Structure 1
Amino acid sequence: MEAIQAGWLSILPPVIAIVLAFLTKEVISSLTLGILSGAVIYAALSYDGVVMVAAKTVETAFSTMGATGGSVSKFNILLFLSLLGALVVVVTKAGGSKAYGNWAANKLRSATTAQLATSALGALIFIDDYFNCLTVGTVMKPVTDKYGISREKLAYIIDATAAPICIIAPVSSWAAAIGSSLSVTGEFESDLAAFVATIPFNFYALLSLVMVIILCVTNLDFGPMEKAQYRAKTQGILGASEEQENAAMPTGKGRVYDLVIPVLALIIFSILAMLYTGGYFTQADVTTLQQAFGNCDSSASLVMGGFGALLVAFLLFVPRRLLRFKAFMESITEGVKSMASANIILVLAWTLGSICSDVLGTGEYVKSVVLASHFPVAIIPAVIFAVAAFLSFSTGTAWGTFGILIPIVVEICASAAPELLIVSLSATLAGSVFGDHCSPISDTTILSSTGAGCNHIAHVSTQMPYALLVAVCSFVGYVVAGFTNANLLLSLGTAVVLLLAVTILLHRIAVKKEKASL
């Protein structure tokens, strides 16, 4: 399919999908209409005649969907999701999740420690954001449920410690991709050096982690999240998705290790598989873990890890008769079915992103707008952050966004502000991760709601005020950085103080509104 340059029309499909998702609270139909609108735009600009446009619209939509869903890496992600769904149901039926929840409830004696433990686990699983989202949710749901923490809050903690952690972790599937994109600029000694240089100025990632800690320790919730937490604490309505509400009952015979061992197996097998696919065991020129993680096929590795964990669960449960062979196999089927909605949403989100980037030329349009703009040198980092945030939110992809913008940023800074190159590149990554964190069509947003057992739109709507607040504070930080010649202490300090002050203010406003309504 030959791509076209649709200009400003190229941003309409994601805008339509996002607006409809918020208005209807139904994401599948919204994504479908977004895809069809992109196909209509492509067909209308490429072909004459009403009949031809109608025919080409259908052809464009289905051919793009087929190309997107058919790639090996994306198929592996869908397969991993299905395997993980099977593992969750198997462990739940065996009683492992219930046993772990009871044990953890005795060790973690408050909602605060439960939330902090969830955040810590999210920070520890920094190798891959997909792996992070699903594993943390699987392990911590019994614990957070025990203390009346809403699924929306759990999904936010998972999401805010997924992509924001991976983008500042030197050993992750993100690090090599980002480092290789940065090192081609010729400004850094190596991929790792390029990546590490951007970490201190990646304000969105850093402030997201600060925000999580603030909310876990102080419970200064506001907006839709405050209502969700109030509902969970006073009415016991956690906001679990329909699939979670209908989950199979456990046998009650399980032990704590019946959850811990399969999860550890998932982690260990996935890490070993990443090292294997990255050439650590097979290629002489791959000598470091960072190289191996950078070269790995993360989606294939996760499939290997998921299959290995499921095999361990079989050997752990069936011989002990926690589950009979037939019940084990039925649980696998049930688990795969539970992931059907998430798989459909992922395919539709990928298709919409493919239409924007590969068919309508959304990235090229944004590039032309940026290059044609003339603005003061001091606000270059802030403007770049805003552009990256808009593009990543619209397309739901961080990797695609920084892949498009990094060469543009290097060109702009080389001619206008060489001293702001590093902070501008960091702003590009920070804006890119914003969309990956909170866009309704982002795969990690979808996986976070899936891992937490939370309605997807409920997750998006409750975390959006937090993500936007962090983005605004990051924008202010980049403004300060531009006017202070990239002074890290002053710019990051300003952003953190502003974040804390506004969070307290918004919480007080939310409490006053709640008291007034009583």
Structure 2
Amino acid sequence: MDHIGFVSLIPPIIAIILAIIFKNVIVSLFTGVFVGLLIMSNGNPITATTRTINEYITPQFTDSYNAAVIVLLLFIGGFVALVEKSGGGLALANKAAKHLNSKRKTQLSAWFGGIVIFFSDMGTPLIIGPIFEKIFDKVKLSREKLAWIIDSTSTPVAVLIPFIGWGVYIMGLIKEEFDRIGVATSEFTTFVHAIPFQFYAILSILIVPVVALTKVDFGAMSKANKRVEETGALFWPDSKPLRKPEVSQEDTKESHPLLILLPLGILFLTLFGLLLPQGFPFNPVPGSDFRVALSTGYLFASVSLIILMIFYKVRKIGRIFDIYISGMQKMMHVILILVLAWALGSLLNEMGTAAYIIELLEGNIAPWIVPMVIFAASSAMSFATGSSWGTFAIMLPLAIPMSYGLDAPLLVSIGAVLSGGIFGDHCSPISDSTILASTGAGCDHVDHVKTQLPYALINGLIALISFGIAGVTGSAYTILFSIPLMVLTFFIISNIQTKRNGVNVTQ
């Protein structure tokens, strides 16, 4: 295998270390690319700089596939911004909230609301949290429980959806690696087939209704629920709840649920209308056709939403266009990460990084263990950096060729990267999604991390075991083992703690 030896590991190691130290993925990726080209240029900084710009960054923008992905991300960014400012999600949640009169209904409704706001991982905590915090107070459920529910339905839901920003971003990384190693399979087909192997995300979503229906709680979460149930105290004496940002007057204007229902309906009708003639979703669809259909769907959905916002007088037309453009601008951060990830992947391919790793591991590690190793490494990186997207950007260019070269199950390995990114993100106190969940629920951030961590660790351990099983079998039905194991584990731990401490499990 062609590689330049140990030095081929330096760029990704530097990128990981800098991401952990500075918590800035863009700087970390750029530095990794630059250092790699500094090595390839025999230490000449001028040559390394010009090659970084001319041969590795600029071509990512001019490539037709990459350009189509960037355009799609811009359309998605504009649409999401309009939805978040339209008030449609808020109006829908307000109507549903009127019928909630029990703890079980309240938890399930918050969970369902988080799934409905699938198009925006930030939208879930900032829309669902403020709506449900007073309802949780009324039925005597802790704010920590609300933070856990909205955290469990934000990124874990988003990472499973192929036609939003998360899926487009991940498929862009997959496609780039497939081109390098000569895999002809569609990135869309690969993403969809890898969904059953995203064990942690699936378990995180499903554990919420299990807890709500069975009244199983333990650890710090059980104590928080008992505090509210017995004393009515929303917070511990030393808690410092995060406060939501001040809501401007324009954000409080009355809206209508139609402003979220109709645009989403148009999005799906457009997507399926353009792709059904090609056999979608039962037959593979070329990635280019899928991206065009998605871009068209998001554009039509945005136009319909703009018309509705004008009709219901939610915003003035000038402000509406400002919101749309600002949503596009917010996607530039994502686009920069994606472009630099493509550039780093191209550099690692030239240096033979994956080939060197394969040469080191071949014959020394069983192929079925590879997904477990990838999951553990991705989890550690995501926890340390607080960034699942940064983890995907660095780990997928390593994991895909590594699993391919070591004859490990490719779909399982991709699922391991995605699951590890979400697991580490859930456990990390510096993760933006964890902070947003605390903010949306109006609870103390440390309390949220403490109450969520036991649930996350259990699901993470089950996911690790599941990756070992899937590594052997390669079967998507492994999840049917993971879910019962998760339910059984939660019951056992809860019963043990209840007997040991004499603590009543409350809901």
TM-score range relative to shorter protein: 0.5 to 0.7
1:272, distance to aligned residue in structure 2 (A): 3.0
Whether the aligned pair in 2 keeps the contact of 1:64 and 1:355 (CA below 8 Å) is yes
Residue of structure 1 in register with 2:32 after alignment:
38
Aligned equivalents of 1:123, 1:101: Cα separation in 2: 12
Is the partner of 2:279 in helix, strand or coil?
coil
Give the aligned partner of residue 432 of structure 1: 417
CA contact (8 A) 1:274 1:297 kept: no
Q: 1:115 to 1:350 in 2, by over 3 A?
A: farther
Aligned pair 1:287/2:279, yes or no? yes
Q: Write the letter of the residue equivalent to 2:245.
A: E
Do 2:392 and 2:421's aligned partners in 1 also have CA atoms closer than 8 Å?
A: yes
- Equivalent AA in structure 2 for residue 56 of structure 1: A
Counterpart amino acid of residue 31 in structure 1: V
Match of 2:360 in 1: 372
CA positional deviation for 1:77? 0.8
Structure-to-structure mapping, 1:291-306, within 5 angstroms: 291=283, 295=287, 300-306=292-298
2:76 alignment partner in structure 1:
80
Tell whether the 8 Å contact from 2:108 to 2:209 is kept in structure 1 after alignment: yes
Partner Cα separation in structure 1 for residue 351 and residue 376 of structure 2: 13
Alpha-carbon distance in structure 2 between the residues aligned to 1:146 and 1:10: 49
Deviations 1:147-203 (A, max 9, x none): 465667524421122324669xxx99999x999x8xx999x9x99999998777664
Residue 16 of structure 2 aligns with an amino acid whose one-letter code is V
Partner residue of 1:108?
Answer: 100
Q: Does 1:500 align with 2:490?
A: yes
**Residue 60 (structure 1) shift:** 2.1
Offset of residue 351 of structure 1: 4.0
Task: Say if 2:476 is the partner of 1:476.
Answer: no
CA drift at 1:239: 4.1
In 2, are the aligned partners of 1:280 and 1:289 still within 8 Å (CA)? yes
Q: CA 1:47–1:279 in 2, change beyond 3 Å: closer, same or farther? A: same
How far apart in 2 are the matches of 1:144 and 1:156?
Answer: 15
User: Which position in structure 2 is the counterpart of 1:7?
Assistant: 8
How many angstroms apart in 2 are the aligned matches of 1:57 and 1:223?
51
TM-score, normalization: structure 1? 0.64
User: Across the two proteins, how many residue pairs are aligned to each other?
Assistant: 454
Write out per-residue CA displacement over residues 30-86 of structure 1, whole angstroms, 9 at most, x where no aligned residue.
22431343144124202245xx41673476269755555673212421342133213
Residues 223-238 of structure 1: pairs in structure 2 closer than 5 A? 233-234=234-235
Equivalence map 1:91-490=2 (5 Å):
91-92=86-87, 96=88, 98-109=90-101, 113-120=105-112, 131=119, 133=121, 140-147=128-135, 149=143, 153-164=149-160, 203-214=199-210, 218=215, 220=217, 233-234=234-235, 239=242, 245-250=245-250, 254-255=254-255, 258=256, 260-275=257-272, 279-281=275-277, 286-291=278-283, 295=287, 300-323=292-315, 325=316, 328-334=317-323, 336-337=325-326, 342-361=330-349, 364-366=352-354, 368-373=356-361, 380-387=367-374, 390=377, 396=390, 409=403, 412=406, 424-425=409-410, 427-437=412-422, 469-479=458-468
Identity %: 16
Q: Distance in 1 between matches of 2:196 and 2:338?
A: 31
Distance 2:461 2:418 in 1: 14
Q: What are the superposed Cα offsets for residues 347-386 of structure 1, whole Å, 9 maximum, x if unpaired?
A: 3432442343122349953454245326788x64233332
2:249 match: secondary structure:
coil
Separation of aligned partners in 2, 1:146 and 1:299: 41
CA distance in 1, matches of 2:360, 2:372: 17
Give me the whole-angstrom Cα distance separating, in 2, the residues matched to 1:399 and 1:38. 12
Secondary structure of 1:291's counterpart equals coil
Task: Letter of the 1:500 partner, please give it.
Answer: F
Take 2:59 and 2:188, find their aligned partners in 1: how far apart are those partners?
33
Say if 2:160 and 2:195, in contact at 8 Å, map to a contact too.
Answer: no
Inter-partner Cα distance in structure 1 for 2:458 and 2:196? 20
**Structure 2 portions without partners, runs of 5+:** 137-142, 383-388, 503-507
Q: Which amino acid aligns with 1:11?
A: P
